[in-house]
Amino acid sequence: MKFFVDTAVVDEIRELYDYGLLDGVTTNPSLIAKSGRDFKEVIAEICTLVDGPVSAEVAATDFAGMVAEGEHLAKIAANVVIKLPLTLDGLKACRHFTNKGIKTNVTLCFSANQALLAAKAGASYISPFIGRLDDLNLDGMELIAEIREIYDNYGFETEILAASIRTANHVKDAAMVGADVATIPPAVIKGLARHVLTDKGLEQFTKDWAATGQTIL
């Protein structure tokens, strides 16, 4: 499963990329607003740091506006992916960009039927929101599984990008049901490496090694 980081903070992206853990980046208007920086400037800088896809979301909600903004964003860098809302106008814009060879990420997906429409529109990625469904006592992971089954039934090439991930278990479960990608907050990505027994074991190894009085170098 590919890992995208869900942030617009350049320092966080650089740190994770240096660990070799990142395959791409997703941003959205809320994340850009938190950064306090110019939207296009942030996207351009991220694209210089990461070789993989960088999702940049349009602000318009009508077809013409999405196309105009998306085409402008696509000029920033070759690895920009145009992020579009899962509305009829968003799907129409998705088909427009797909026909032009520009990658798309259709976001705010909450049902398997929506995901089916996105695949038919040629979306590069579909972003089902796990955490927000869980907030409503619905099963976000069940949605991922349903989309996986539908896409496999018909050979759709749209990649399932598990989004709104809140916990390490979300990452594990998404991987188990076959998500192609998970877009994950930086703290959750780093938390995947942590385990109390790893910490305890390393502490003991360090103590035992010190007692030998040896050095490797």
Reported as a single tens digit per residue, the pLDDT across 145-197 is 999 999 999 999 999 999 999 999 999 999 999 999 999 999 999 999 999 99
Active site residues: 83
**Percent of the chain at pLDDT above 90?**
95
Specify burial of residue 56 (Cβ count, 10 A radius: 0-12, 13-18, 19+).
Answer: buried
pLDDT digits 0-9 by tens, 34-61: 888 899 999 999 999 999 999 999 999 9
Q: What is the pTM of this model?
A: 0.94
pLDDT at 95 over 90: yes
Q: How far is CA 7 from CA 22, 94, 200, in A?
A: 12, 23, 31
Give Cβ neighbours of residue 173 (< 8 Å, ≥ 6 apart): 141
Find tokens 């003991």 and name the residue: 204
pLDDT at 33: 84
Give Cβ neighbours of residue 86 (< 8 Å, ≥ 6 apart): 106, 107, 108, 109, 114, 117, 118
Domains, the chain, in order of start with CATH, read: 2-212 (3.20.20.70)
Torsion of CA 8, 21, 167, 107, to 10 degrees: 50
